[in-house]
Chains A and B, each alone.
Chain A
Amino acid sequence: KNEVEQSPQNLTAQEGEFITINCSYSVGISALHWLQQHPGGGIVSLFMLSSGKKKHGRLIATINIQEKHSSLHITASHPRDSAVYICAVRWIHDKLIFGTGTRLQVFP
């Protein structure tokens, strides 16, 4: 069983739809990252959360430490949001444990 699990693994949406990606983890963490990886491979860090909620543009990330669960929401999705979204939890010595990723495709 993975220590960090994401759902769904694959997600398709029509432009404009509201999207939610979930992340559950089983280890004690100091922080959780949401990352975006585009087809070329480059990774961008979207959020780092240790509690509560953060918002950046159309992206919202929430975390519930007690339930060991985080969600990434995309409002008014756009084809350029198509990417793999990865949840990563920060563990001891700042090591990151990665989820398997959610592949999102947004169609016009």
Chain B
Amino acid sequence: GAVVSQHPSWVICKSGTSVKIECRSLDFQATTMFWYRQFPKQSLMLMATSNEGSKATYEQGVEKDKFLINHASLTLSTLTVTSAHPEDSSFYICSAGDSYSTDTQYFGPGTRLTVL
């Protein structure tokens, strides 16, 4: 079946640094990828929709200058948390749908970010 990978799976960084998270669709092309964050024991919250070759669409309340999204190819989207602070500590998950079939969303394994 289709696979979505994320890298890194976990990262610990100091406050003020920037962290890049990659989301790759391994065996299919994805014109659209989604980025979510999840706080402990809470549901996933959509942060933004990443569109290949164009600007991402951010959900209300999500700072686009804080969470930079780049979708440079049909198999890769990146989320950069700029000037990270402890409140950015969370579990970040991406998902992607096959460009030829929007029936199923495939989820990445997630990236746990801890900002000290």
Total cross-chain contacts (CB, 8 A): 53
Give the number of chain A interface residues (Cβ < 8 Å): 21
The answer to whether B104 and A48 have CB atoms under 8 Å apart is yes
The contact of A41 among B32, B91, B104, by CB within 8 Å, is B91
Interface residues of B in 68-115 (CB under 8 A from A): 91, 93, 95, 97, 102-107, 109-110, 112
Mask for B25-49, Cβ within 8 A of A = 1, else 0?
A: 0000000101000100011111001
| B interface majority secondary structure | strand
22 pairs, CB–CB < 8 Å, chain A vs chain B: A35-B107, A41-B112, A42-B110, A43-B95, A43-B107, A43-B109, A43-B110, A44-B107, A45-B106, A48-B103, A48-B105, A88-B44, A93-B49, A93-B57, A94-B97, A94-B105, A95-B34, A95-B46, A96-B105, A97-B46, A98-B43, A100-B43
